Amino acid sequence: MAPADHEHAPAGPAAPGPIAAAQAGGAPAAAATVAGEPIAAVRLEGLVKRYGEVTAVDGVDLEIREGEFFSMLGPSGSGKTTTLRMIAGFEVPSAGRVLLHGRDVTALAPFERDVNTVFQDYALFPHMTVGDNVGYGLLVRKVPKPERQRRVGEALEMVRLSGYDRRKPGELSGGQRQRVALARALVNRPRVLLLDEPLGALDLKLREEMQIELHQIQHEVGITFIYVTHDQDEALTMSDRIAVFSQGCIEQVGSPAEVYERPATRFVAGFVGTSNLVTGAAAEAIVGRPGVFTIRPEKIRLEPADTSPGEDEQSAAGTIRSVVYLGSDTRYHVALDAGSELVVTQQNLATSSTEAHEQQGRRVQLVWKRQHTREIAEA
């Protein structure tokens, strides 16, 4: 099986792109405009994908900006990977259009689109050196050897692997192999890079390190990254904007802060971070009116039972039902007198495990700023 860069390589020699500009200390080319408005790097219009009677993607409309680190976040089966595969050309939409920089590519094959894909499984040739893996797509396109060597060197430098060109993939760590796969995609100078859960096979510490590296690399090369993940921390850490997927639809698009602080729906509130949902009688007792409200656990303070809230605060009385000590912080589950339950997260600045667990069964007043109570839609 050929590696991913060959499958996605644009036909014919590519003009010098943002990698070369970044290496030379310059900036990537400015985004094209129409009537003064920038053209989206990727535009999806009414995108639908059906497999028999199953609708995997259901009418997705989306614009992704030039030079943006954009994440598609959602659980398994939410449609995010299928959407990415339609952008790449691996899946043909049942309806709708895919436009790359204003050009309708819906009917074009993957190699006719100016995109590259980085997969979770790397797809490196084990018998080839790192340099040969990175330069394979250039070799297939008959790029002259001197230019091929120069561009391979630039790509390896970009991913902090200078001097590794003669090693074999089996001599590298998981993180290094992932960076080789990234270099192989970047060497072709795509205008859009698609990343399908590329860090999923790495352990937690290495995954966190690679998140920072990927964000830095994207900032340096200046091209559009579209990143698929089910990991909310990855999306919040790296992204300029996030689209949250559920059941084939987009629930919300926004910056990490917008999605986390102001979730638009019940699903987003529950999936992105930990959130408390207050509904029914509890909502009327706490907020003063019916509806669905969300309060993030870290916004709530545990206070003595006789504490009165300030004018700009809301409160709820209850009893600590259980305590979960997590090292850096502790999670308290509080059964409310109003008939619901709220989770409170507090940093263990001066609290030991023993002290935290001694709080179980204690009567408390939960207090938070009124501005942190957010009303959300049911769907």
SS (H, E, C) the chain: CCCHHHHHCCCCCCCCCHHHHHHCCCCCCCCCEECCEECCCEEEEEEEEEECCEEEEEEEEEEECCCCEEEEECCCCCCHHHHHHHHHCCCCCCEEEEEECCEECCCCCHHHCCEEEEECCCCCCCCCCHHHHHHHHHHHCCCCHHHHHHHHHHHHHHCCCCCCCCCCHHHCCHHHHHHHHHHHHHCCCCCEEEEECCCCCCCHHHHHHHHHHHHHHHHHHCCEEEEEECCHHHHHHHCCEEEEEECCEEEEEECHHHHHHCCCEHHHHHHCCCCEEECHHHHHHHCCCCCCEEECHHHCEEEECCCCCCCCEEEEEEEEEEEEECCCEEEEEEEECCCCEEEEEEECCCCCHHHHHCCCCCEEEEEEEHHHCEECECC
Q: Quick one: which of 208, 211, 199 has its CA closest to 174?
A: 199
pTM of the model: 0.82
Q: What is the mean pLDDT of the chain?
A: 87
User: Residue 121 pLDDT more than 50?
Assistant: yes
> What's the whole-number mean pLDDT along residues 290-296?
92
| Residue 131 CA: distances (Å) to CA of 66, 101, 154, 163 | 29, 31, 11, 10
Lowest mean pLDDT, pick from 16-20, 99-103, 121-125, 203-207: 16-20
User: Residue 4 pLDDT more than 90?
Assistant: no
User: Residue 140 pLDDT more than 90?
Assistant: no
User: Residue 18 pLDDT more than 60?
Assistant: no
User: Residue 244 pLDDT more than 90?
Assistant: yes
pLDDT over 70 for what percent of the chain?
A: 90
User: Residue 24 pLDDT more than 50?
Assistant: no
Task: Please tell me the predicted confidence (pLDDT) of residue 378.
Answer: 67
Which domains does the chain possess?
4-266 (3.40.50.300), 274-375 (2.40.50.100)
Task: Please tell me the predicted confidence (pLDDT) of residue 22.
Answer: 38
Q: Quick one: which of 3, 227, 5, 1 has its CA closest to 116?
A: 5
Task: Please tell me the predicted confidence (pLDDT) of residue 20.
Answer: 40
The model's pLDDT over 296-309, given as tens digits with 9 standing for 90+, comes to 999 999 999 999 99
> What's the whole-number mean pLDDT along residues 242-268?
95
